[in-house]
Amino acid sequence: MKPITDYSDEALRSLLRELQVQYKEAQAQNLKLNMARGKPAASQLDLSAPLLRTMENYTLADGTDARNYGILEGIIECRTLFGDLLGIDPEQIIIGGNASLNLMFDTISFLCLFGTGGCEPWLYHKHNDTPVKFLCPVPGYDRHFTICEELGIEMIPVPLNEDGPDMDTVKKLVKEDPLIKGIWCVPLHSNPQGVCYSDQIVEELAAMETAADDFRIFWDNAYGVHHIYEEVPLKDILTECAKAGNPDRPYYFFSTSKISFPGSGIALVASSTANITEFKKHMSAQTIGHDKLNQLRHVQFFKTPENIRNHMKKLADEIRPKFDIVLSKLGDSLKGSGLASWSNPKGGYFISLDTLSGCAARTVQLAREAGVTLTGAGATYPYGKDPKDSNIRIAPTYPVTAELEKAMDIFIICVKIAGIEKILG
């Protein structure tokens, strides 16, 4: 498409009429297509199906029967497997339940309720009408924002650049305000743009001066081994923080939701010895231990970090054609038009698209009315408020390719209609 600025009003009106005809044709098909959530397709889940084979051996290396109560921090076999995969000392790891989001919520809830290292519990500030605040690089993951909202934590959006959060903004804010207690980070293949943090950003986050002694980095490495087009290295935040004299600053989260089964995988939190000791104390009031049989199933299935990496290559082969479809359709139909720009992720689960300012909600509405469900406009911003109303998250993994192609064709018509409507006023 030629640049939208090259069209006269008359030509735009004629183009809009053509698009409206195509839109009506799409509506008449009564489709039900979904590009809303980052869910693996059945073909991806099938690759882990052997994990569900009947277990023949439940005895751990030290002779413990995994079927019984106990081992709060998770079995050493599992902590070692994922520790080796991520380069983390197994002693610094707790394996939790079936989802990392749960560990994130618990970690922050514990800090709200009990505080850390002798600092006031974060809820204390809320009760004094000075709620604590988190920095939220945007666009970001809606469920991080929901945790903050639920716990009464104020969110401050900060720009997410191509190599990580805008550190001039971050460093200034955390140095000045002792109520800023945290920052959300998805350091590899971020949701939704696929941003990967540079070494320099990791070092600066680890070493920056913060007014709050209990400032914490919530390092959600959800897509840490989820490379699709290119393997991207990541500097280790735990090591960098320890080197900078801030060993207690990071909480590192990871899960197998997009490796084995979402909702039935395993999740981990890793941090300093002091933080892990605190966390275990609180967790011991919550549970006697998480699902060791699932931990053991994962160990018996994957066995080695190399096998996990190979499994991720097979998953990438499943996902790549879907990313190719989205990126080539956007390129063919919208490149150079000036109606949208989009990310070119190297991995992860999403593609992020920016419409013209003020067009995201309208685009999502048009798509919905033509049978294509997208993540709600605004979801990628705290409080669901995208100040420019322009960001839309595309999740290509769940539909089969034929459906994805149809959904993208309709979506592109909607982006164009919303943009032209806006220009024509």
Q: Which residues bind ligand PLP (CB under 6 A)?
A: 38, 99-101, 141, 186, 191, 220, 222, 255, 257, 262, 267
Closest CA to 35 of 386, 345, 408, 419: 408
Q: Smaller CB distance to ligand PLP: residue 191 or 390?
A: 191
Contact (Cβ atoms closer than 8 angstroms) between residue 150 and residue 106: no
Q: Smaller CB distance to ligand PLP: residue 256 or 363?
A: 256
Closest CA to 75 of 313, 268, 344: 268
Residue 418 CB, shortest distance to ligand PLP, in Å, is 26
Block residue for tokens 């023949």: 56
CA 264, chain centre distance (Å): 18
Block residue for tokens 């479809």: 325
Closest CA to 215 of 284, 286, 94, 116: 116
Residue 380 CB, shortest distance to ligand PLP, in Å, is 11
Contact (Cβ atoms closer than 8 angstroms) between residue 60 and residue 77: yes
Q: Phi then psi for 174, rounded to 5 degrees?
A: -70, -25
Instruction: Give pairs for 71-74: CB < 8 Å, separation 24+.
Output: 71/289, 71/292, 72/280, 72/283, 72/284, 72/287, 72/288, 72/289, 73/276, 73/280, 74/266, 74/268, 74/289, 74/290, 74/292, 74/295
What span, in angstroms and rounded, lies between the C-alpha atoms of 150 and 59? 40
Q: Phi then psi for 38, rounded to 5 degrees?
A: -80, 75
Residue 38 CB, shortest distance to ligand PLP, in Å, is 4
Q: Smaller CB distance to ligand PLP: residue 257 or 295?
A: 257
Q: Smaller CB distance to ligand PLP: residue 39 or 416?
A: 39
Q: Smaller CB distance to ligand PLP: residue 395 or 414?
A: 395
Q: Smaller CB distance to ligand PLP: residue 164 or 262?
A: 262
Residue 346 CB, shortest distance to ligand PLP, in Å, is 16
Q: Smaller CB distance to ligand PLP: residue 36 or 420?
A: 36
Residue 15 CB, shortest distance to ligand PLP, in Å, is 36
The burial class, CB within 10 Å (0-12 / 13-18 / 19+), for 211 is middle
The residues, ordered by sequence, that sit 6+ positions from 23 with a Cβ below 8 Å of its Cβ are 366, 370, 410, 413, 414, 417
Residue 242 CB, shortest distance to ligand PLP, in Å, is 24
Residue 158 CB, shortest distance to ligand PLP, in Å, is 17
Q: Smaller CB distance to ligand PLP: residue 33 or 395?
A: 395
Residue 100 CB, shortest distance to ligand PLP, in Å, is 3
Q: Smaller CB distance to ligand PLP: residue 194 or 262?
A: 262
The size of the chain, in residues, is: 425
Residue 239 CB, shortest distance to ligand PLP, in Å, is 22
Residue 262 CB, shortest distance to ligand PLP, in Å, is 5
* Token reading at 132: 């604590």
Q: Smaller CB distance to ligand PLP: residue 137 or 419?
A: 137
Q: Phi then psi for 172, rounded to 5 degrees?
A: -65, -50
